[in-house]
Amino acid sequence: MLTRLSLRLRLFLIFAGLAAGLEIALAAGLAIGWHRLADQPGALDGFVQGGAVAAFAILGLVAWIWSLFDLNVAKPIDRLAGALRARAHADVTGGMDAEIARYLGDLAPAAVAAAATLAETRNALAESVARETLQLSEEKSRLEALLSDVGLGVVLCSPEHQLVFYNSSAVDLMAAGVVPGLDRPLFDFLREGPVRLAYARLLAVGDPDAASDLLCTTVAGARVLSARMRLLTAPGAGDPGYVLTLRDVTADLAAHARREALLAEIFDRLRRPSASLSALMEVLPDGSVTPPRMEAALRQEVEVLARTVTELGRRDDEARGDGATLALTRAGDLADGLKARLEEAGLGLETRVADLILRCNGFEIISVLDQIALAIHRAGAQGLRLEIEEEDAGAMLRLVWRGAPLAVGDLDRWLDAPLDASVPEASCRQVLATHATEAWPETLAGGEHALCLPIRQARRAVARPRPVVRTVVYDFDLLARSRSDKVAETPLSDLTYVVFDTETTGLLPQQGDEIVQIAAVRIVNGRRVEGEVFDTLVNPGRPIPLSSTEVHGITQAMVADAPGPAEVVARFHKFSQGAVLIAHNAPFDMQFLRRHERAPDLVFGNPVLDTVLLSAVIYGQHEVHSLDALTHRLGITIPEEARHTAIGDTVATADAFLKLMPMLKGRGFSTFGDVLVEVRKHGRLLKDLN
């Protein structure tokens, strides 16, 4: 009820209540005193006169103090609020007079700064809107032309899988030149299964930047397309739509097959003549046909040719085997793709798939398994099942069935057959050679039979926070920036900062706890440089307790191949040279770094700022200064999956510092030295490390 009253009226009621309380206290005190002195003549008159004088004095004093509060607090606050509302809601742009609230400490300057910033923002926004509005028509035309002529098919669909947009390439790829028509179901043109699976997978992930690769088949013509799906997020609009980019991988397969066949033919046709030449030169008698000098030169050239052909052949074989040119494919996507292909042929497939990421050409492996699965089904196999499990550094694919075993001769014949009738150059065996693997039949327990196909390189799929995007890095303002060797006199915006965070095995470095992950970003010229990131796991050389893993999610297996603390700290020292270090609760993180200092080359002598202390400077020591509390006050959201990861907390701390920096400047702390003096006043919270 009282919140509906004006501020001035509430202050008046407070002081009126104070006056009434003082009068009651005075009356009670006088009554007690009179009862003790009631037997003395004239005592009552004295008490009455003294009480009246004191009562009027109290009323006068309270009224005077109330008038001062009303004049110097309530009225200025009302005037300040009115001026702020005028600028917030009535688009008033004039300056504010800080003198109207000169007795309210930093409130008036803060309000003036807020109003000025609001006016600047509005002006900049108006200019930006006007500028962008003028360009919208031109940009729209350019975008339409670009999307119309781009080689990839682009399709936008609603959550109900209805067509919202398509370009001419998409028409050629999925509809064979027939115009699809807006608001028609996508599944009139593409098979439903893989698309729905990819959409459900992206919804389950919940990451707006995630993408899912899939293989789908057109309804007409059974053309195989490689696609990438990405959700189009719209806050508060229910399930999102998605964009689908399409590419015909059959043509890619044909071109790849022709290149591989050409290379194989080149090496085959060169090896034989070079070997024959080498053998012929060995049996020729010295000087029998040519002069000795010419014969020596001829022998040398033949040897060079033979060595060259052998070396190039070896390098080609190694390139096929190392998998460097192969893409990363999720085991689940590969299983889904094979299942979709077999369902197209009317066959079912059970899948048992580990959460692995395989280095392979998913389309080629699916095509090989699809062809063999169809062949063994025609031979009477039942109950097809695909198993993908981790094996050593790779993975084992097993196509399992019930029925007759697979003869090696039949398998060889199937592997020599073309992978696709339209691409006779590419055989299943050639796919296996590209992946430096082979396939063989095997009999399992329980009377089942399997085709085994190992993939040489695979790793477990581990949920990690989204990495900081690395892109082109530049800041041309640095060309004109003056530099000073005196850090204390340097403006905050002119300093270079490295914001970092560590995850550890525990909280006691003096008892042997070590770093398991360290991440850092650089702030240059007042902005976070997205392309300059330090982020690495660390092998602590000791077990990671389960209680620590539950906090940061880092397991012993994840750090098994990571570098040790000494190496990582040395690399971080080089990354942070010449910069001011920033951390949230810096003394904790610096303990772990300083354990690995090696004088004189590896010493962390950097100036240090702690966002805990900076938060205390701005908000006072009475507030909570945890990272969650600070980011909440500053309107910064830390994704749940990134909290308590080194890179997630580092980015949040950097963003918090960038918002604290103008607030410090607004309080009059413009240089590093100014901030350092103020920070040391809050040493009760944390020790200053400078």
Catalytic machinery residues? 644
What Å distances lie between residue 593 and 310, 398, 503, 515, 565, CA to CA? Answer: 51, 48, 12, 9, 9
Closest CA to 667 of 518, 492, 549: 492
Contacts of 71 by beta carbon, 8 Å cutoff, 6+ apart: none
- Spatial CA neighbour of 229 closest among 238, 215, 242: 242
Alpha carbons 660 and 611: distance in angstroms, whole number: 9
Which residues are registered as beta bridge partners of 391?
394
Phi then psi for residue 197, to 5 deg, are -65, -45
User: Of 569, 592, 470, 480, which Cα lies nearest the Cα of 522?
Assistant: 470
The HSE-up count of residue 89 (CA atoms within 13 Å, CB side) is 6
Beta carbons within 10 angstroms of residue 513's beta carbon: 19
Give dist(CA 614, CA 65) in Å, integer.
36
Among the listed residues 612, 563, 568, the one whose alpha carbon sits nearest the alpha carbon of residue 593: 568
Residue 52 CA to chain centroid, in angstroms? Answer: 75
What span, in angstroms and rounded, lies between the C-alpha atoms of 656 and 636?
7
Place of tokens 């089942």: 448
Q: What are the angstrom distances between the C-alpha of 225 and each of 190, 252, 633?
A: 9, 10, 48
CA 566 to chain CA centroid, Å, is 27
d(CA 523, CA 498) in angstroms, rounded, equals 6
Q: Write the CA distances from 392 to 327, 516, 557, integer angstroms.
A: 20, 24, 13
Dist. CA 274–CA 267, nearest whole Å? 10
Distance of alpha carbon 498 from alpha carbon 608, whole angstroms: 10
User: 3-state SS string over 153-211?
Assistant: EEEEECCCCEEEEECHHHHHHHCCCCCCCCCCEHHHCECHHHHHHHHHHHHHHCCCCCE
230 contacts 203 by C-beta, under 8 angstroms:
no
Task: Provide Rg for the chain, Cα atoms.
Answer: 39
SS3 603: coil
Contacts by 420-425, CB closer than 8 A, 24 or more apart: 420/250, 420/253, 420/367, 422/250, 422/254, 423/250, 423/253, 423/254, 423/257, 425/254, 425/257, 425/258, 425/260, 425/261
β-sheet bridge partners, residue 185 = 162
Are 430 and 260 in contact by the 8 Å Cβ rule? The answer is yes
Q: Specify the DSSP class assigned to residue 515.
A: E
Residues, the chain: 690
3-class secondary structure, 551:
helix
